[in-house]
Each structure stands twice: as structure tokens, then as C-alpha cells.
Structure 1
Amino acid sequence: MKRYYLLILVSASLRLSAQEQKSEVRLADEAYARQEYAVAGSLYQRTIEHKGKRAPLEYFLKLAHSFSETGNYRQAAGWYEQIVLRADCPAGTYFDYGEVLRNMEAYDSAKVQYERFQTSNPDSLALKAAALKGCELAVQWMAQTPQLSKLEGMKELNTPYSEWISGVVNQGLLIVGNGYRGMNLNDGFESKPETDKRTYQPYYKTYIYQQYSQGNATMYLESMLPKVLKKYDYHIGPACFNSTEDTLYVTVNEQLRPAVTQKKGTMNGTRRLALYRAVKQDGNWSSLELLPALNIEGYSSSHPVLNHDGDLLYFVSDRPGGYGKTDIWYSEKQPDGSWGKPVNCGNRLNTVAAETFPTFNEDGVMYFSSKGHPGMGGYDIYRVKGSKGTWETPLNLRSPFNSGADDMGLVLKRNGYEGFFSSNRAGGMGSDDVYHFLDPAYFSRLDGSNTGTTGSNTTAGNTNGGNAITGTTNGGNTTAGNTNGGNTTAGNTPVKKPLSPEALEQKNAIEKLHFLYDFNSVVLLPESRKTLDYVLGILKQHPDWKLMVLSFADNRGTEDYNLDLSALRCYAVIDYLVEKGIPAKHLYYKNMGEGYPVNPCKDGVPCTEAQQRENRRSELRIIY
């Protein structure tokens, strides 16, 4: 009798287990359909562990894809490694496995999997060719990675979650992030922010990060326009402002939870993105309004960015008429202030894969991220010249700006050598981290690979083997040229004109000036700014004069490092003068390094700190 009841209990238990298992799979399928990959992956993994080898191949595929989508590349690779050993492995899995291996920068192994991927689909063949070429190029680029003056994660911005820079405003940097939700900012404190089940992280919000000077304590973070944006529950951002910062364009997630319906065994349920606008009038911001001209029912529109003139709005969409998963589109501003019908940017820029994260740093030049052009893996950052539907061939920014992981959102400061980008590469604090870089040779290296100037004006002459900076982020005006030991300016020897006694006195006064720097610093001291204000007054009296900035370092550190450091000091002076209205094309520089001390302080000679300080200086020369 006991045995009979035991059999009944075992049978009931098995039936209950089967029902629970079926329910768990159903939940996994629904979460997967909503792109809630963190939830789906956890459920599929539990199901596979329970069923073992009896688990359908579909569960393994969805589990591996869920890990890939949440950036857990090693876990994804482990499951793909098992799948490709099966006789029923779908052909596309080899490509997916190659993608994950490329994310991990295992390029030789990735090539093996890409080669195993056989298809007759033209789009798939194009992706395979780009992936194989990307593997070959990545190995070359990593072997030729330039040494930047600075490349580091921003500890003051990065969290264990995800943050990235989306643009700039007069007040500072625009940030999209989900790691600040628990901070007590200007919109209050969230003790338990709602979690996005796609990643098990909080939803994104938009912020402004103000930074007066690097290393200064006067840095702060605040939520952007909380009275306008706080009522939205899901992802918010990225956003952009017009030049006068009285019109906001922002990406907002659909607020309704997507319904998951089942038809003929398939499921779908995606929360879409839409573009909204708010306008500031009489000091007050309006509520957000949906932009019907830029949105289309059933498809996403996101990542708005304006060109420098503000008459073109670029954005990302998966709408019909594109070339791939998501494309970059543009809309022209109409005479009445509305936006015209969106137009695709064309197949020189867009590919059969995904393009996203557009930014503008120089006039007529777009930066964007893509998975379809040959690259190092994941999203790579590209730079391309053009406008509307006419573009040149995109230029991959290579290592160290790109990696096997997702790299995106490159934003330059006006000085043209300092900027930010985001990446989920190994070694960061969280999912996507913000990286800050200083690169004195930024534009010269780019133009060495992609001929032509980066702005609307040409640069000053350069006699140092290509170290001139050839563009800025300021409406296409170029920064000062670097003559570094040469006397050529603007490509020709300048013709001297006789100066009046008063002008000669002013010239001599400027050339007697010098100002100093703290150790290993490029920050202008208060007294240096006062000196430059005096110089500004004279330069504005002589609009035809040009100025050469010469900067020096003390002998501590390597010669190469000090040469870069002196260049950055030149840029600090140039930045200040440009901000005050001096045309960048009138400014030149020589980075002198440590080789011209004003005292006996050379290598091997003991010196006091006061003597070292005398050598950390900038001087000025007038060109007329």
C-alpha cells in the first residue's frame, strides 16, 4: 500500500514538475521576445541544466544569444562552443560564434568560425567578407597602436553599470547613464530604481556633467531637465540641443509594456523608441511633444543629433527603406521650423548591419558606430566626411579608440585633441565606461590615412613630418599649425611689413612675456590668464597679426613625453585665445619639449624646484 501511494506521489510530482518546467520555458520565451535577455538567459540556463542533453537546440541558441546581447562574451562563447559540435548546428551559428570571438579579440579563432559559415544570401555574404577583413585589419591595427598622451577611464563618471557621452552643451557634457539613479541629485533620490530586465540594470536617464577644469573640485553631475523628463519610466536618451539651447530633442522609450502575442509559434514584443521635442520660452520648458514627421508607427527612431548649422537633424531608425538593422537618416528643417520627410543617408555610410551613435565634432564630418563596416569587433567608431546622402568612405578610428568590444559616441572638445568615447571593453568599471583621451597628433594621423583637410579652412604649414592638427570641433575652423622647429607659416615665408613705433613696442612687449605651469600640468594659472587677456587686447588691435606659441617642459620625464606635454601647453594657450575670439587660423605653435632650459637644469644636473619651474613655460612670438 505504501508503495502504491508512493507511486501516486511520484507521478503527481512528475506531472507538477513538467507543468512548472513548461511554465518556465514559456516565461523564458516571453522574456526573450521582449528582448529581456538577462531574464531569458537565466530561465533558459535553468531549463537546460534540468533537461541536460534532452533540452532542444533552440534553448541553447537563445541562451548563447542572450549572453552575447548582455555583453557576457565568455559565457556566450562557452555555449556556442558546445552548439557548433552538434550535427544539427544551424549555419548561422558559426557566424554568431565568430562575432563573439571577435568581441574577445580572439581573431584567429574568429576567422575559423567565419570561414565555416556558408550562405548564398547576399547580405550575409557581405557581412562575412567584412568580418574576415576586420579580423585581418584588427591584428595590424593592434600592432601599430599609437601611444596617446592620455587614455583612461573617468573614475569620477564611471559606475558598475553603464555610462556614455552623447554630446556637449555650453554647461558641459551630455551623459546617458543608469548608474546614477541612486544618487541624491537635483531630481531627488531613488532608493530602488526600476530595473530593465534586458540587462538587470536600471533604466537610462540623461545627465549633464559640468567640468570647469581637469582635476578641479568644481565638477558636478545633475539630471537634465527633471521637470520635463522625470515622469517617464523607461529609458530616456540620448538627447541633443540646438545651438541656442532653447530646443531639446530626446529619445524616449515607449511607456506601455509591449504585449507579447503568439502567432503560428512565433513571438514578438519589442518596446520602441521615439523622438520628442521640448521648447524653452520665457525661461520655462514646455512638455515633451512627439515629432510625427520623424517617427513612424511600429518602428524606432532615436539618437538625434543636429549638424553645426542646425538645419539638418540626423537620427537612427530601423524603419523600412533602409539597408540594414538600423540606419542613420536625416531630415531637413523647413522654412516654418518643422522637419521634413526623413531620407536615408545612403549605402556609403549605412550597411546591412547596424549603424548608430552619430555625433558631429567638425563641420561636415560625422562620427558614428557600426557593426557592418570592417572593424575590430562589436560596434567600431568611424569618421566620415559628407552631408545628407553624400558621404566619402568611412574611416575606422582603429586601436586604441576601437577594440573587439562595443565602442561608441566619440565627442571632441573644441581644442581638437581632447575628447571622450565609451566602451564596454575589458578592464572597465562597469558595462559601458567613459574614456578620456589626449592625442596631440589626432587629426594628422587621421589625415595621413584619409587625405584631405577636416574642415572648411586649410591649416598652417607644417615642417615636422605631419604633426599639424588639421581641424577642430568649432564650425570647421582649423587649429594652429605646428612648425616644431621650422619657420614656415601657412605654407609660405611671411613677408615682413614695417611696423609703426607703437605697434613695434606692442610686439616687443608680447615677446618679452612668459608664463609658467605647475609640475606635469597643462592648466593655465590665474596669472597666466591675466597675461593672455593683455595679449588679447593687443591682438584685437591688429587683426592681421598671427601669433606663435612656444611651450617648454622641464627635464623630468622622457623626451617624448615632454614633447607631448609641451604641445598640450601650446594647445591650452590656443584654446583660451580661441574662446576669447581670436581666429584659430591665426595661431601657430611649436612644442619645444625639454631641450631649451633657461638655466643649467639638464639631465644629470641637480636643480631646485624653483629652477625646474622656470623651464615649464610658454612664450609668444608675433608673425606679421
Structure 2
Amino acid sequence: MKTRVLILCFAICSSGLFAQKKLADKFFSNYGYIKASELYEEAVRKGDSSEHVLTRLGDCYYNNSNSEKAALWYGKAVNKYSKVNPEVIYKYIQSLRSVGKYEEANTWLNTFKEIQAGDSRIKYDADDVSIYSQLAESNPELIVNVEALPINSGNSDFGSYIHNGKLYFASARGGEGNKTYTWNDEPFLDLYEVTVEKEEGGKLKFGSAGMITSSKVNSDYHEASVAITNDGNTMYFTRDNVNSRNKLEYDKKGTTHLKIYKATLEDGSWENIKELPFNDEVFSTGHPTLSPDNKKLYFVSDRDGGFGQTDIYVVDINEDGSYGDPQNLGESINTAGREMFPFVAKDSTLYFSTDGFLNLGLLDIFKSNILKGDTSEPENLGAPYNSGYDDFAFFIDSEDEHKFGYFSSNRDGNDDIYGFNAYKCTQTIEGIARDAKTNDVLPDVEVRLIDKTGKVIATVSTGSDGSYKFEDVECNTTVTVVGTKPDYKEDQKMVITDDENDKVTKADLNLIPLIQDNQIVINPIFFDFDKWNIRTDAQYELENIVDVLRKHPNMVIKIESHTDSRGSDRYNMKLSDRRAKSTRDYIISRGIDENRIESAIGYGESQLLNKCSNGVKCTKEEHQLNRRSYFYIVKE
């Protein structure tokens, strides 16, 4: 009897679980992810931890960009079941990246590679997890100020577009009586506009946001993603597939798709709504953006023939207002993942969001020069534009030194619009050039700024006060400042800049005069033991002599060479004389007339500068003092 009761109870419970799961599936298929996740979690509490329920829970949270919970449920699924759908594994990888678990993500990436060897997303991923950390850190050479806009509401706001001092965006702020979208329990999206003024100092001032000026653009369902022609007369936007009775149209599977519409400006209002001809009832078309010359329209679609879940396409806009055939932008842009929210800047740089290239998890913003003929891999913008969450709908309003623009992100919960002001971090290097002997300021010193590769970045001359200045030097780099003036030895200073913008670093230069009294004074020139050939380091010093003689074409010099006391007096006399004459010969080989060198004589150890004569114990340094050459000026 007890057994029959248990069996009956189990049957009733199983029946209840099946019905509950079926209800959850219905909400899921209709994008009611919040309600679906509630029902799936209740099923788990009642004992249903099937692959279907666990992966659906992961999908519910993934689709609403809740990475922590998505990773939790995907993790349960992939660790319990050995043959889950590969797409589940990829979304698990993305969720792990999103919450910063890069090592774990890469472990599962290797599993994904084994299953999906031909997946285009694999070739863009990196085995070195430090790359993800680099993307998550802001570019030290760039200062980017990012602020959430004051026009954001408590619901989703995204998709900025600036035209004639107005910012257009989509928002689910809704109003009393608005229909609610079951995906996230928010009102359906409508298009809004707000005036934007740039105040002194570059700060933006926003007016009050209100629905777009139109009687027909906003429906009871979704509208988003605006693009406006240069003349301001035509607006393209995305909308749910709504019929003339303001009712949703569905395909045979019960799914409603997105379409692109256009409106024209009539007496300040957007009217005359028309659907574009390349829309369809069985796939979505949306996220329009225009080329700078307005001759092409770029958009996103999941139509057949693409590379992945959604791809970016382009269509020609003909002079008569008709459209060409949509063309896929190709595998340089599109992957097996999601490519979305294209935007073409004034310089024809393509910005878009994707989860198919190397990313921090979920959607990241990328840029590409494909429209300029460059098919190299798109570049991830990195932090602070990208985070571990969905980052999308990039728009840049200027391409000058200070770049102003907008992007959208759900990094703080809901989709919000962020404004950014980006500019290079730079510093100033300045100093004074002086005579190292007299401390007098030196005018007309050529000062070169040289980067770490050896390239001369800039050259200036010191003024009458001996000062120089280099502005706009990159932050976080190493440069060398070199000062050169005839009759002086050059001086150089290495400068390492940090990440403090507008910092001023002092780098004074002290140039040693080569002409001192009746001599040309250089550093000691060295010879190998018992040798008199001119070594490279000696040649380097002797070039100072050559420079002075070239600067003063009537100057005549004489050369004296001396040794220390070690060795016999006779031998040292011969050795020093050979060294004096090899020094003379080198100078002559550099194009100096031999008549300008009156003599080159060696004096051996006959003119010691200290006590270190024969038999006196001295240090190496004391002996070195006696090994020297003099270059006397006998005629100016």
C-alpha cells in the first residue's frame, strides 16, 4: 500500500514538474526570461536538474546579461553532462570571462576547440590569459573620461545618435499604461530626443528628454537604433514587425522579427513611415547606420547565408532612392557569433560590437578599417569602453584631438548611455642648457628629442636665456634629450614619463666646452696594452677634435702623448710617439689637412703628473692619470 502511495505521489509530482517545465519553456520561447528563470529554478528545487533545465536557466540569465548566474547554471550543466550543445560551452566561456575568470574560461576554450574545430571564433581567442587582463586595463597613453549621462532612467536606455544638437536614443522608461516586455519586465522601447549643448571647458549640458517629435514613429512595441541623413530630412530606425493596425506580425513559428523603417521630416515632425524593401517576415533586419556620404546603409541581420548568429551587411542607396542588393561584409568582420550595432565614423572607421572576436565576455566594442580597404583583424577598444558586460552602440561625434562620443553598457545593471571624452596623455619636458665649466647659459644649442627606438621626434634651439621646451610628449614612455653646440661636447639626459597628464619634467643640459684656454680638451683616449692602434672608443673621442678643426678652418694644433712610468724609459718614449702619430693619422684620415697638425710627439714618462715614477708603488688609477694626450692650439 505504501509503495502504491509513493508511486502515485511520484507520478503526480512528475506530472506537475513536466507541466511547470512546459510553462517555463513557453515563457522562454516568447522571451519571457524573468518568468522562465523563476519557473526553471522552482523545477530544480523540486528535483529536476536535467540538461534542458540547467542550460535554459543559463540562457535566461545570459540573455539578460547576468553573467554570474549564467556562469553558475552553465557550469552545473557542462560539469554534469558530457555532451552539451557546443554553443552552451561557448556561452559558458563568455560568462566566465565576463566575471574575470580567465584561466577557467581558457580551460573550457580548449574543450570547445576540440568539439568545434572549424568555428571561426576559435582563431581570435588567445591562450595567454594576460591579454584579457591587458584589455581590461585602460590604455596608459590615453585619458578617457567616462560618465553615465544624466538622462538615463531606471530602465534600459541605449543607442545614442547626435544630429544638429540633438541626441536621439532608445529608452524603456515608458509611462503609465505602457505595455511590458516579458524579456526583462520593462516597458517596450521608444525613441527619445534631448538637446545637447557644449559648455565652456567641454562639459555637456543636456535638456529634458522627451519622445521623438512624431505622431507615428513610436508604436506600442520596440523602436531603437537611429541614423539620420546629412541633410537631416530622412531618419532610419529599427522597429518590431508591426502592421498598419499597430499589431505585431509573426512568422510561422510564432516569432516576430525586427525591421528597418525610414521616416521623413515634415514641419519638424518625423512622418511618412515606410518599411525598407529588403526586410522580411522570416528574419530580422535592424541597427541601421549610414556611410559618411549617405550612399550606403549598413545594418545587422540574421538572414540565411551569413557567417553566424547575426552579421553586418551593407546595401547601396541609389540616387533615385531605391536600394541595391544587401551584401555581407565578409569574414573579416563577421564570425560565428553576434555582430551588432555598426556605426561608421566621419573618417570611415567602422565601429561595431561582437562576441566573436577576442573579448572580455559578452559584447565588446571593436573598430575596423575595412571600409578603407584594410582587411586586418578588428581591434578591441579595451577598457574603459569595454567591460565584462555588454558594451555596444558606439557613436563618436568628433575625430579631432579631443574625441567626444557615446556608448551603451549594462555594466551597472540596466542598459545605460555613457559619454566619453578621450585625449592623449601628454607631458612637457623643458630645461636650460649651460656651459658646464662657467655655468653660463648657452643660446643656440640644438636640442633633439629622441624616442626609445632612436627616432628623432622633434628638434628645437635654445633661446637667448638657454631654455628649450618640448610639449605633447607621450605619457608612459622613455625619451632622450640631446643637446649639441659647436665647440662643446654634447650632453644627453634620459627622461621617463609617467601617467600624470600635463606634468612638466625638468631636464637641464650641461655641455662641456672643448676649447679650454689653449687646448682642445676631450676625454682620455685609451690604447690596448703595448699597442698604438686607435680603438673605436678613442675614435669616438677624436671626432670631437675633428669637429673643432672643421669649425675653425684656420686652427693649427700640436699633439702630445704621454705614458706612465711602467716599462723602460726608452720603450715608453717610442710607444708614446707611435701613439701620438697614429692619433695624428686618424685625424688626417677624416679629411683634415696634414699641415694643420704642426707636430705629433711622444714624451714617454718624462712629464709625469704625480709621484708615480720608476719604482714608486701606485694604484691603477694613479698610473692612468699619467697616460694622456694633449691637443694644443698653436694658431687660432
With structure 2 as the length reference, what TM-score do the two structures score? 0.61
CA-to-aligned-CA distance 1:569-604 (integer Å, 9 cap, x gap): xxxxxxxxxxxxxxxxxxxxxxxx799xxxxxxxxx
- Could you tell me the percent identity over the aligned residues? 26
Provide the secondary structure at the position in 2 that maps to 1:435.
strand
Q: In the alignment, which residue of structure 1 is the partner of 2:420?
A: 437
CA-to-aligned-CA distance 1:257-313 (integer Å, 9 cap, x gap): 57698xxxxxx5432100111123455543311111x21330100001111101101
Q: In the alignment, which residue of structure 2 is the partner of 1:94?
A: 89
Counterparts of 1:15-34 in structure 2 under 5 Å?
20-34=16-30
The 1:152/1:173 distance shift into structure 2, 3 A limit, reads same
Residue 46 (structure 1) aligned with residue 42 (structure 2): yes
Match 1:250 to one of 237, 253, 263? 237
Shift of 1:346: 1.4
Residue 204 (structure 1) aligned with residue 189 (structure 2): yes
Partner amino acid, structure 2, of 1:227:
S
Counterparts of 1:556-571 in structure 2 under 5 Å?
563=502
Provide the secondary structure at the position in 2 that maps to 1:141.
helix
Match 2:209 to one of 221, 232, 256? 221
CA-to-aligned-CA distance 1:60-109 (integer Å, 9 cap, x gap): 11111111111111112222232233144526243332221011121111
Q: In the alignment, which residue of structure 1 is the partner of 2:264?
A: 279
Separation in structure 2 between the aligned mates of residue 122 and residue 252 of structure 1, nearest angstrom: 37
Shift of 1:56: 2.4
Counterparts of 1:512-531 in structure 2 under 5 Å?
none
Separation in structure 1 between the aligned mates of residue 384 and residue 13 of structure 2, nearest angstrom: 51
Provide the secondary structure at the position in 1 that maps to 2:184.
coil
* 2:94/2:362 contact within 8 Å kept: yes
Shift of 1:356: 0.9
Query: Which structure would you say has the larger Rg?
Result: 2
With structure 1 as the length reference, what TM-score do the two structures score? 0.63
* 1:211/1:220 contact within 8 Å kept: no
Q: Give the helix-richer structure, 1 or 2.
A: 1
CA-to-aligned-CA distance 1:39-76 (integer Å, 9 cap, x gap): 221211111112x2x44221111111111111111112
Residue 288 (structure 1) aligned with residue 277 (structure 2): no
Counterparts of 1:540-619 in structure 2 under 5 Å?
563=502
Provide the secondary structure at the position in 1 that maps to 2:104.
helix
CA-to-aligned-CA distance 1:140-186 (integer Å, 9 cap, x gap): 333563375443332513333222233211122221222x32xxxxx
Separation in structure 1 between the aligned mates of residue 204 and residue 392 of structure 2, nearest angstrom: 27
Shift of 1:434: 1.9
CA-to-aligned-CA distance 1:399-455 (integer Å, 9 cap, x gap): 222222221122222253222212222xx2x32222222221299xxxxxxxxxxxx
Provide the secondary structure at the position in 1 that maps to 2:125.
helix
* 1:206/1:237 contact within 8 Å kept: yes
The 1:387/1:559 distance shift into structure 2, 3 A limit, reads closer
Partner amino acid, structure 1, of 2:421:
L
Q: In the alignment, which residue of structure 2 is the partner of 1:174?
A: 168
Residue 113 (structure 1) aligned with residue 108 (structure 2): yes
Partner amino acid, structure 2, of 1:421:
F
Question: Cα RMSD between the aligned structures?
Answer: 3.5
Separation in structure 2 between the aligned mates of residue 438 and residue 405 of structure 1, nearest angstrom: 21
Structure 1 outlier segments of 4+, above 6 Å:
10-16, 258-261, 463-466, 483-488
Q: In the alignment, which residue of structure 1 is the partner of 2:317?
A: 333
Q: Give the strand-richer structure, 1 or 2.
A: 2
Counterparts of 1:412-561 in structure 2 under 5 Å?
412-414=396-398, 416=400, 417-425=403-411, 428=412, 430-441=413-424
How many residue pairs get aligned? The number is: 435
Provide the secondary structure at the position in 1 that maps to 2:132.
helix
CA-to-aligned-CA distance 1:476-502 (integer Å, 9 cap, x gap): xxxxxxx998779xxxxxxxxxxxxxx
* 2:67/2:95 contact within 8 Å kept: yes
CA-to-aligned-CA distance 1:311-364 (integer Å, 9 cap, x gap): 101111111121111111111112311111111111111112111111122322
Separation in structure 2 between the aligned mates of residue 192 and residue 55 of structure 1, nearest angstrom: 38
Separation in structure 1 between the aligned mates of residue 332 and residue 425 of structure 2, nearest angstrom: 24
Residue 301 (structure 1) aligned with residue 285 (structure 2): yes
Partner amino acid, structure 2, of 1:422:
S
The 1:154/1:142 distance shift into structure 2, 3 A limit, reads closer
The 1:284/1:196 distance shift into structure 2, 3 A limit, reads closer
Residue 406 (structure 1) aligned with residue 390 (structure 2): yes
Q: Structure 1 regions of 5+ residues with no counterpart?
A: 182-189, 262-267, 444-462, 467-482, 489-557, 565-592, 596-624
Provide the secondary structure at the position in 2 that maps to 1:420.
strand
The 1:299/1:134 distance shift into structure 2, 3 A limit, reads farther
Separation in structure 2 between the aligned mates of residue 75 and residue 281 of structure 1, nearest angstrom: 48
Partner amino acid, structure 2, of 1:360:
V
Provide the secondary structure at the position in 1 that maps to 2:318.
coil
Shift of 1:17: 5.6
Separation in structure 2 between the aligned mates of residue 436 and residue 464 of structure 1, nearest angstrom: 35
* 1:150/1:436 contact within 8 Å kept: no
Q: In the alignment, which residue of structure 2 is the partner of 1:235?
A: 222
Separation in structure 2 between the aligned mates of residue 132 and residue 562 of structure 1, nearest angstrom: 32
* 2:225/2:287 contact within 8 Å kept: yes
CA-to-aligned-CA distance 1:539-572 (integer Å, 9 cap, x gap): xxxxxxxxxxxxxxxxxxx9965629xxxxxxxx
Counterparts of 1:70-149 in structure 2 under 5 Å?
70-90=64-84, 92=86, 93-117=88-112, 119-124=114-119, 126-132=120-126, 135-142=129-136, 145-146=139-140, 149=143
Partner amino acid, structure 2, of 1:248:
M
CA-to-aligned-CA distance 1:189-239 (integer Å, 9 cap, x gap): x22432211122222122222221355766221211341223x11110111
The 1:390/1:20 distance shift into structure 2, 3 A limit, reads same
Partner amino acid, structure 1, of 2:237:
V
Q: In the alignment, which residue of structure 1 is the partner of 2:340?
A: 356
Q: In the alignment, which residue of structure 2 is the partner of 1:160?
A: 154
The 1:260/1:356 distance shift into structure 2, 3 A limit, reads closer
Provide the secondary structure at the position in 2 that maps to 1:439.
strand
Separation in structure 1 between the aligned mates of residue 127 and residue 160 of structure 2, nearest angstrom: 29
The 1:432/1:96 distance shift into structure 2, 3 A limit, reads same
CA-to-aligned-CA distance 1:349-399 (integer Å, 9 cap, x gap): 111211111112232211111111222221111111233997443222122
The 1:36/1:419 distance shift into structure 2, 3 A limit, reads same
Match 2:53 to one of 45, 53, 59? 59
Separation in structure 2 between the aligned mates of residue 259 and residue 228 of structure 1, nearest angstrom: 21
The 1:395/1:38 distance shift into structure 2, 3 A limit, reads same
The 1:145/1:283 distance shift into structure 2, 3 A limit, reads closer
Residue 373 (structure 1) aligned with residue 368 (structure 2): no
* 2:261/2:275 contact within 8 Å kept: yes
The 1:76/1:305 distance shift into structure 2, 3 A limit, reads same
